Structure 1
Amino acid sequence: MFSRLAKLMSGASEPSQAADLYRHRLAIYESELGEPEHSFTDSAERRIDIHAFGRDFVPVCEEGSDEGYVLLTNGMSEQRMPGVHGDAKRRAELMWYVREPTPDVCDNLRWLAKLPFIDTTWFGFGHRVALPRPPVAGTDFETFLFLTPIIGPDKQIAEVLEIAGDPVEILTVNLISHQELALIKSRGLDPFLDLLDDNDYPPIFDPARKSYV
């Protein structure tokens, strides 16, 4: 009785509820993105699957193609993140735009989605996770930065997704350089976001991207 009450107070779900919420999230994802081309299941007790939705990132009004994937976690929002304060959302799922859903990309995305519950922390817009070494092959960047979606269908998911009465934050995953991190720390996030606009920051993660600072 007391363990059940503790789970309810913390925002965790019973197994049957978890399955329903899993399907609820996936149905909202599919309503905006179609069926996933791949789903990478998680066998851990804290289950966080990753769905890969194919997308051509070139706007409909333009010619050419820029094919990649929208990776989206399913399970991070099962529980409220610890220590959230103010108007920040207590639950989140992570999104990463990539060329291919490689094992190292998926492993990093799943690790990030579990990190708040390991380190007793929370993620929101502008938060960073600095690492001692590059997490993905082919890049020198060592810091993850979380932003929010600006592409229509992804924004729509963020607007309608809700778990147990809590709105769910959709956070996009980005890798930044030491110099870019220093700029954010010294001048704030807005000047860095301006740099992204000035340099036509590509929506799909490019490990070979040069630092903008």
Structure 2
Amino acid sequence: MLSRLAKFVSGSNRPSGSDLFQQRLAIYESELGEPEHTFTDNAERRIDIHAFGRDFVPACQEGSDEGYVLLTNGMSEQRMHGVPGDAKPRAELMWYVREPTEEIWANLRWLANLPFIDTTWFGFGHRVALPWPPVAGTDFQTFLFLTPIIGPDKEIAEALKIAGDPVEILTVNLISHQELGLIKSEGLDPFLDLLDENDYPPIFDPSRKSYV
């Protein structure tokens, strides 16, 4: 199913912009089911945001940890500027949250527009530092982009193509000033090790304490 949809999106008979939105959504739905909410964008550069409900506890384990997978749809319509040859030139953003509040999805849409405002590009390990916390309840001011490690989300990333270009799925994370300092001084790997050691929660927790 995914390979057929991906082939259609990247095929020589280019669908219209509206059709591309529907085809990306079809790929999303093939792994995540139907979205519970869609926040449609009316701007000239249209970036819709879909909210898919998910229980983040694996089926083989007891209990539940319910939240949402927020996923942009439209950021990949345009190639990002200055992408090196070994990186994917297009991207969509994913954020695991407890509730799809307006504050959350507005930040996600702003991030998805940022590369085209600042003529830059986003990839694994890239960061966006702000002068203030972007979300209520947290002191963290820096967005960090990683790539999905959950199976269905990785499948989406592998299936998406536009005009023959692969599309990167980047997960959105908020980190502390101290954690940013660690990444700057020692690189990303030591910080990723800290995430593993501290059982970093998949769902964004604004009250998370800094690991550094």
TM-score interval for Structure 1 and Structure 2 normalised by the shorter chain: over 0.9
Quote the residue 2:181 is aligned against.
Answer: 182
| Superposition map of 1:5-154 within 5 A | 17-154=16-153
- Structure 1 CA distance, aligned partners of 2:142 and 2:17? 32
Moved over 3 A (4+): none
3-state secondary structure, aligned to 1:105: helix
Quote the residue 1:201 is aligned against.
Answer: 200
- Structure 2 CA distance, aligned partners of 1:86 and 1:208? 38
TM-score, normalised to structure 1, is 0.92
CA RMSD, 1 decimal = 0.6
Q: Which moved more, 1:167-176 or 1:78-87?
A: 78-87
Structure 2 residue runs of 5 or longer lacking an equivalent are 1-14
3-state secondary structure, aligned to 2:67: strand
- Structure 2 CA distance, aligned partners of 1:157 and 1:184? 28
1:165 aligned partner, one-letter code: G
Q: Which moved more, 1:77-86 or 1:122-131?
A: 77-86
Determine whether 1:159 maps to 2:158.
Answer: yes
TM-score, normalised to structure 2, is 0.93
- Structure 1 CA distance, aligned partners of 2:192 and 2:45? 33
1:172 aligned partner, one-letter code: T
Query: Structure 1, residues 122-149: CA drift from partner, whole Å, max 9, x if none?
Result: 0000000000000000000000000000
2:77 aligned partner, one-letter code: E
Percent sequence identity over aligned pairs: 85
Structure 1 residue runs of 5 or longer lacking an equivalent are 1-15
Quote the residue 1:168 is aligned against.
Answer: 167
Query: Structure 1, residues 187-213: CA drift from partner, whole Å, max 9, x if none?
Result: 000000000000000000000000000
